[in-house]
Amino acid sequence: MSESNSKCPISFTVVSPHGTIATASNPELHTRQDINDKQLNQNERLLISSVFPFQRSFPSEPPIEYNRLRAEQPIYRVALMNGDQVWLITRFGDVCLVLGDDEHFSKVQNHSNFSKQSYQDIIDTDEEHASLLNMDPTKHIIYREIIENELSIDRIKEYEPRMKNIVDDLLNELINQNPPIDFVSQFAIKVPSFIIYDLLGINKIDHEFLISRNRINNKLDEAQTANKELLDYINRLIANKKQTPGSDIISRLIIEQLRPGRINEKELVSIILLLLQGANEPIKNLICLGIISLLQNHEQLDQLRENLSSIDAVVEEILRYHTGLSFITHRLTMKDVKINGQIIKTGETLFALNASANRDEQVFTDSDRFDIFRPPQHHLSFGYGTHQCIAMHLVRAQLKTVFIIIFQRLPNLKLARSIDDIQFINDHNKDIGVQKMLVTW
Ligand code: HEM
């Protein structure tokens, strides 16, 4: 039995007795701060749900259970919908510990006892199209190097002027319509999609088709059909690019990796699929949630408008506060290990909850408050360790570009209706996000 020993910026040891948790739905409560102030103080206490993912008290906030678990049961055993038992890791230090430890924890989901959280995992674990998200060293290191270069900080810096043009054009299209306009379908979803299509060298006439394929994700059979159509499309795209390569990621992968035999065609398809599918939803959601948080915090928004150079801090706070992707950081235990006093046995699955870690009050003062002025502090929105998001420079650049352009060009942007009319993603099995929000200016 060994204690996990990977390097971790912070670690904690407190363990308290079992506890109960407050949860209630109330549309007037808009932030976790409101929920905490108004509900926890009223002592409306229910038992912690025994099924994960937990319901969200307000659709734009992580489940309130995370707060109580961090304080009282930081390593918590819970069932998934299919009955599988998994461990939840909720504190910042412990989440780092798990994500930074490739010796005890695996990301290969094809292991028979890796508990599946959703059908998305079934698609990801398709043997033929194994993705980076489903690999351990050494295969993982080789694959990661192939893509890393394409999304490096220097490449993204070079690409920024082109990114700015894409965002400007999309904003022109938005402004040319009569408000109120649905910000999600008319702008936020198009930004990350058009940018990744451009990077991959995909012709403009195919953009709408690809957006429609990526949006189908409600039912397993529809998702599988959409996935198959996407695969067929990618195969045709590769065939075309082999004939007439351009100066884009796919062409470079064909010339530098496929032709010399460093990867085979199936591996190339997997890489393209991952880049296409990873891009859209979380960035769209962060653009919308970021706008909402800034509109809700007028003083902070006013200061940002006066001093756009604080944009880096704003983007980091949006990432911390809303996290973006909160279910993909799960792992299978490969060797017995003890975390924060709890033994996790070989073969057990755990979720290292970055959305909970990002609200850890031991690390972030007043952690449930959206505050663009908080001191710089590493957050876990992009994960940690060898699987840390490969596209983080791209994501940061996009968010920066979008917020600067919007607040320069549309200083009067506001919600057209009340915040209660925003259609948030209300399915607690999915990440926090926005489906529809009407804006005007
Ligand atoms: C707001 C947007 C995004 C967020 C919050 C995000 C978050 C994450 C997180 C938390 C991980 C770590 C997973 C783990 O440890 O198990 C990850 C990995 C990854 N992300 Fe992102 N991601 C975002 C956008 C993207 C985009 C746009 C792409 C591709 C174009 C992408 C590609 C990847 C890849 C390939 C990995 C796996 C890296 C590896 O295993 O080495 N992500 N991402």
| Structure token pair of residue 96 | 């780092």
| Structure token pair of residue 437 | 């929000």
| Structure token pair of residue 139 | 């295969």
Output the pLDDT for position 225: 82
Separation of 390 CA from ligand 1 center, angstroms? 6
Q: Hey, which bits of 35-92 come out as E strands?
A: 51-52, 75-80, 85-89
CA 139/CA 11 separation, integer angstroms: 30
| Structure token pair of residue 342 | 């709890």
Axis crossing angle, helix 220-243 with helix 265-296, rounded to the nearest 10: 120
Which ligand 1 atom minimizes the distance to the CA of 131? 35
Task: Quickly count: other Cβ atoms within 10 Å of residue 214's Cβ.
Answer: 18
Find residue 181's DSSP bridge partners.
Answer: 439
Q: How many domains does the chain have?
A: 1
Q: Which amino acid is at 335?
A: K
Q: Which of 253, 278, 252 is nearest to 266 (CA)?
A: 253
Three-class SS state of 415: strand
Separation of 127 CA from ligand 1 center, angstroms? 20
Output the pLDDT for position 112: 64
Residue where the block lists tokens 């910026």: 9
Nearest CA to ligand 1 atom 7: 382
Nearest CA to ligand 1 atom 36: 389
Q: Which of 355, 348, 344 is nearest to 321 (CA)?
A: 355
pLDDT in tens, the chain (441 residues): 444 433 333 322 222 222 222 222 333 445 666 655 555 444 444 467 889 999 998 899 999 999 999 999 999 999 998 899 999 999 999 999 999 999 999 998 766 666 655 434 433 445 445 577 788 888 898 889 999 999 999 999 999 999 999 999 999 999 999 999 999 999 999 999 999 999 999 999 999 888 887 665 566 777 778 888 888 999 999 999 999 999 999 999 999 999 999 999 988 998 998 898 776 899 999 999 999 999 999 999 999 999 999 999 999 999 999 999 999 999 999 999 999 999 999 999 999 999 999 999 999 999 999 999 999 999 999 999 999 999 999 999 999 999 999 999 999 999 999 999 999 999 999 999 999 999 999
With a Cβ cut-off of 6 Å, ligand 1 is lined by 99, 107, 132-133, 144, 196, 274-275, 278-279, 282-283, 286, 324-325, 328-329, 354, 381-383, 387, 389-391, 394-395
Domain at 71, CATH number: 1.10.630.10
| Structure token pair of residue 379 | 């957050």
Q: Which domain holds residue 289?
A: 2-440
Separation of 430 CA from ligand 1 center, angstroms? 16
| Structure token pair of residue 389 | 């998001």
Residue where the block lists tokens 């799960």: 330
Separation of 318 CA from ligand 1 center, angstroms? 16
